[in-house]
Structure 1
Amino acid sequence: MKIYYALIGGVIDQKSPSRMSAWGFDSREKLLEERRVVEKELREVIKDLLNEGYELEVYGGDVFDNEAQVFARYDFIRDSDALMIFAVGPETNVMRALLSLGKPSIVFVKSKDPYYTFAEIFNARIIRMETDKTLLYDPHDVFVVYDDYNEVKKILRALYGVYMLRRSRVLYIGVPYGWQGRFNELRAVLKKIGLEIIFLDHDSAYEEAMEYVESEDGRKEVEIIMSRLLRESVDNKLSIEGLKAGVRLYVGLRYLAKKYNANIVTISGCMMYGASRWRSTPCLAFSLLDDEGLLGVCEGDMTNLVAKTLLRYISNKPAVFVNPSIPVKGREAVYAHCTSPTKLLGYRSEGFKYVLTTHFESDSPAAIKVLYEPGHKITLLNLSFDLESAVIGLAESSGYTDYPICRSQIKVMFNEDVSRLNEYIRGFHWSYVYGEYVEELIYAMKLLKINYVVIR
């Protein structure tokens, strides 16, 4: 994602009788020095995010004191995906010219810096830019930040999550059936998000995947992965043939993802795959895809595909697809599914311990039970089928459980009584990610024009 930054302001003649206050710089040298300071500060922000694994690039550094200069640089600016505007001087027309270019924008003000405009007139206009449609055609993607670069990081994570979501390619195997009204979820996702989707029927997917799985390289890869899983798992409840079937499905799906340049794979009717030619549900396969940075999405659920993808890219960690499995009681809830990534603390982390096992409902190979560790904060997201509303949750993991439900189970504790949670749920499946990303999700909901409630 490319971020273009610019400063608004010029050199003010402090002796002019028409000046209103000491807005702006009194010399070109001081203005250029502030540009150097801003560039250093912004590059430190980007460096931190690069170290977290986000793919970002910052460029620009123009200083504008009139709107004509903005449009003269349009060819340079239009390649960006977001703008970072440092509001030094009082040139509101320059601000509006930059915002008219239709890019998500962060307006940064140093409120305690004597050279930055912070008089009540311009400050009020900045505030109105977030709320007043007479000043902005669409204020949902303009964020005003005072002094706090940590807040800038949160907004950039949200921007990155939405950016990557909208550029995702989905390999959809089977026919969408949905959870609410068959094709309604697909329509909502295509209209609001605009994902690129490649559809394959089950037989074609199998036959194309087997071109690689049955090759010499494919067979070697299957054997290597099986050995690694048997070595790393704390227990194995699968037969060798069952494990092999699950790994063959993983190798086949990864081959198809690469062939079709897809970062997301989902399968309609995947719970029946144990009785298919694959002889395995994709639970283990999706877990392995998630751990390497791709996304495996269960049951062809397009609504939760959006939630899981958004969380994965906002956090730069693998996200977990779950059912709300145990009725919420007081402050506790249990979420579960038969697939889960293990590297929940980050792609470079060692990963949680796990058991190789079967899919719960069908008792078919191959699934995984992750032994979640207690004491970690997790951020949850549930989206409505029409993508118009969301529930954002923040809870703490109490560790794994052993209920007779889907294999990978996590019990969580909220700070507040969430017994009324069901009043807000408008979707079915949830997704969650390790870490605190509530603020990032709020910014993402604003970008996507989705109403939300927060449960903590």
Structure 2
Amino acid sequence: MASDEINRREFIGLSAAGVAGSVLGLRPAAADATQQESWDPTAPMVVTGKALRVQPVLMYRVAQRREATSWKSWGGVQDDQAAESECGRITEELRTLATQAGFPVEMLPVVKARSPEEAARVHQNDYDCVIVYPATGSGETLKACFAQRKDRDTLVFVRHRSGPSYYWYEALSTRYLASGSAQFLQNSCLDHGPVHVDDVVVDDCGKLLWRLRALYGIKNFVGARIVALGGPWGKYAPDAPQVARDRYRLNIIDVPYDEVSGRIEVALRDKDRLRMAQRMAETYLALPDTTLMTDKEFVTNAFLLHGLFKDLMREHEAPAFTIRECMTTILPIARTTPCLTLGLLNDEGLIAFCESDFVIIPAGILLHYITGKPVFMHNSTFPHDRIVTAAHCSAPRRLDGVHYEPVRIMTHYESEYGAAPKVEIPVGRQVTFVDPEYSTRRWIGFTGVVKSNPFYEVCRSQQDVEIQGDWKKLCSEVRDSHWMMAYGDHLKELGYAARKIGIDWTDLSTA
């Protein structure tokens, strides 16, 4: 199996052959378009990202003994035998790391580099990131080990106490590494900038792993394909779709409603497909902690939409989907709202958002790939006394990637029509927020703790969240736009990824 064909459901990447087959959990493209797909709530989430290919390099030199003079540098790797032992140690550490990663990663065999010439040959290999282990050796060899392509990345791992000490634990400095933040905005998805002090890890494989997770996020975010049913737009930023194309190379596939309305009508009239959708609706409603508070037919129609939306994603080889005019145009066509449908797609491990707002969608795609979990696009409120309310009608349920949170299936709030989930997030759950400043390259991030799941006259899924960080500063950042939320604390990964691709990142939780 190829390196970027690794997943928890034999997910095989985004190649044309893969999407035509088992990618996205879909049937083959040649199947009858009126057939409804099965839905299995017990199936593990699909993984839509291509594996991160990592090339480890052990840099060292063979020290030659000379009498009555200094003949070796600091460091415990001074000969080929010690280097062979160190290669084994690195291989085992990376093997363990890969099993803990939670995202597809391929660790290539360790390559030894004893000179700039040997280091140069490393870059003939196909990798996304090189991890340099500079045990001993010259500065020229070190620089030759660094990734040579501007859109590829370098991590440097040095040992203090985790094995034989490294000379470059002492010798690394700003002579070889960039520092500060002034140059960050010169970076882009095509040029991740020079090797930086933040790219150095001492001893701790856990710190290596979260950096790799950020790089995996970048790899699958940049150039991502997304179907935009009804076309793209940007809330208060008309240039947002074009900015997303230019800055992040997003491939936005504009699918007009007139191309799908007929397909929806055919599905609604197909008795076999309708019966299957009814069975899936019954399975969903039988899940623990699921309460129906709207017409069951709306839920059935949401499952019909589920299959049709996945058809579009497969046909266009896209792991992501969004829909415009989701509170108006789609309702009379589908005879339900898309709220529950979008939640179902996210719960499967795909990426799905309402409103087709490309102010926020880039942040949602990156956050999804970094976390490996569903993300919740929502409206926010004015912060007060450390509290902000997050609310929308299309929340995922499987926000930890495994379990389904309690839910009430209600009507969509503004229309009082269709099927929309009111998801109850556990009180005390830590979450991460990302808030982009319209279509500028400035993003804000912070964490919070869920305090309650109220029932205000607002969008159905709603949480009052206590802000962790400078909530008063957040008041001056309030915009009538959308945020993204995910379970857990992912600020390190987001900040690291942001620097790589030229996003002006502000972490309010450190303020």
- TM-score, with normalisation over the residues of structure 1? 0.90
Q: Look up the match of 2:61.
A: 10
Q: By how many angstroms is 1:350 displaced?
A: 2.3
Q: By how many angstroms is 1:240 displaced?
A: 2.6
Extract unaligned runs of 5+ from structure 2. Answer: 1-51, 184-190
Does 30-39 or 114-123 show the bigger shift? 114-123
Which of the residues 186, 190, 196 maps onto 2:241? 186
Extract unaligned runs of 5+ from structure 1. Answer: none
Contact 2:132-2:146 at 8 Å conserved across structures: no
Which of the residues 317, 322, 331 maps onto 2:386? 331
Contact 1:7-1:87 at 8 Å conserved across structures: yes
Q: Look up the match of 1:105.
A: 154
What pairs up with 1:25-174 in 2 under 5 angstroms? 25-49=77-101, 52=102, 54-75=103-124, 77=125, 79-102=126-149, 103-112=152-161, 115-118=165-168, 120-128=170-178, 138-139=193-194, 143-174=199-230
Contact 2:57-2:145 at 8 Å conserved across structures: no
Would the alpha carbon gap of residues 74 and 120 (structure 1) be closer, same or farther in structure 2, given more than 3 Å must change?
closer
CA deviation profile, 1:374-413 (whole Å, cap 9, x unmatched): 1111111111223411111111111311110000001111
Q: By how many angstroms is 1:163 displaced?
A: 1.2
Q: By how many angstroms is 1:131 displaced?
A: 7.4
Would the alpha carbon gap of residues 397 and 140 (structure 1) be closer, same or farther in structure 2, given more than 3 Å must change?
farther
Q: By how many angstroms is 1:64 displaced?
A: 0.4
CA deviation profile, 1:58-90 (whole Å, cap 9, x unmatched): 103111011211333433x2x211111111113
Contact 2:177-2:195 at 8 Å conserved across structures: no
| Letter of the 2:53 counterpart | K
What pairs up with 1:23-422 in 2 under 5 angstroms? 23=75, 25-49=77-101, 52=102, 54-75=103-124, 77=125, 79-102=126-149, 103-112=152-161, 115-118=165-168, 120-128=170-178, 138-139=193-194, 143-182=199-238, 184-208=239-263, 218-232=273-287, 234-273=290-329, 275-324=331-380, 326-346=381-401, 349-416=402-469, 418-422=471-475
Would the alpha carbon gap of residues 397 and 120 (structure 1) be closer, same or farther in structure 2, given more than 3 Å must change?
same
Contact 1:266-1:297 at 8 Å conserved across structures: yes
Question: Structure 1 vs Structure 2: percent identity of aligned residues?
Answer: 24
Would the alpha carbon gap of residues 119 and 153 (structure 1) be closer, same or farther in structure 2, given more than 3 Å must change?
closer
**2:171, 2:291 → 1: CA distance?**
66
CA deviation profile, 1:15-44 (whole Å, cap 9, x unmatched): 364636334633211111011111111111
**2:330, 2:257 → 1: CA distance?**
13
| Letter of the 1:316 counterpart | G
| Letter of the 1:230 counterpart | L
**2:74, 2:403 → 1: CA distance?**
55
| Letter of the 2:61 counterpart | G
**1:199, 1:119 → 2: CA distance?**
51
| Letter of the 1:231 counterpart | A
Contact 2:237-2:438 at 8 Å conserved across structures: no
| Letter of the 2:294 counterpart | L
Does 292-301 or 236-245 show the bigger shift? 236-245
**2:314, 2:412 → 1: CA distance?**
26
Does 419-428 or 287-296 show the bigger shift? 419-428
Q: By how many angstroms is 1:162 displaced?
A: 1.2
**2:105, 2:139 → 1: CA distance?**
28
Q: By how many angstroms is 1:122 displaced?
A: 3.8
Does 289-298 or 104-113 show the bigger shift? 104-113
Would the alpha carbon gap of residues 363 and 116 (structure 1) be closer, same or farther in structure 2, given more than 3 Å must change?
same
Which of the residues 464, 483, 488 maps onto 1:435? 488
User: What is the aligned residue count?
Assistant: 445
1:277 aligned counterpart, secondary structure: helix
Would the alpha carbon gap of residues 164 and 213 (structure 1) be closer, same or farther in structure 2, given more than 3 Å must change?
farther
Would the alpha carbon gap of residues 393 and 162 (structure 1) be closer, same or farther in structure 2, given more than 3 Å must change?
same
Would the alpha carbon gap of residues 109 and 238 (structure 1) be closer, same or farther in structure 2, given more than 3 Å must change?
same
More helix by share: 1
Does 117-126 or 27-36 show the bigger shift? 117-126
1:223 aligned counterpart, secondary structure: helix
- TM-score, with normalisation over the residues of structure 2? 0.81
**1:33, 1:157 → 2: CA distance?**
27
Would the alpha carbon gap of residues 65 and 344 (structure 1) be closer, same or farther in structure 2, given more than 3 Å must change?
same
